[in-house]
Amino acid sequence: MPGHARSRPVGLDKLQRDLLTAFFRTPRSFFLTGGVRVDRSEEIRANKLASLLGRAEIRDLVDLLALERAGYPVDRSALADAARKDAGLTAAQLAWVLSELRLGPDLSPPGGATVEELEAFRCELRERLVAWAHP
């Protein structure tokens, strides 16, 4: 890539460099659709969980509901994927964020979900996360 310099850890032998590279490499798989690179649904779900923790916005809850309906539920595997992206992410923290998230009656959620469906999903997901936080 023109203008791009790759840095190399100084003072490390090849094995140490390889171990560091392997440790910090984040495998990313995607597919092309119409010439656009698109993350896998599991990757999007992990990003949405991390986003929910970081910004607590309703749009992330809407997207998680859509992913669940499409067959990509928030399960322990999804939580582990999200924790690999944000080491501070836990089931307890996400449950707390969901308990603080308020959906007003005048909300008009995107994606075709009703406020009632979104509220039911928020409560059910919170309960799921609480159960995982306290095995």
pLDDT of residue 40: 87
- Output the pLDDT for position 2: 46
Amino acid 1: pLDDT: 41
83 CB-near residues (< 8 Å, 6+ apart): 89, 90
pLDDT value at residue 9: 54
pLDDT score for 5:
47
Q: Is the dihedral of CA 94, 100, 104, 107 positive or negative?
A: negative
The neighbour count for residue 126, using CB atoms within 10 Å, is: 17
Q: Which amino acid is at 113?
A: A
The pLDDT assigned to 74 comes to: 97
In the chain, which residues have pLDDT < 70? 1-10, 22-32
pTM of the model as a whole: 0.74
Q: Return the closest-CA partner of residue 112 out of 83, 75, 69, 54.
A: 69
Residue in the block written with tokens 């440790």: 23
Domain boundaries, the chain: 40-133
Residues 6+ apart with CB under 8 A from 7: none
Question: Beta partners for 1?
Answer: none
Coil vs helix vs strand at 70: coil
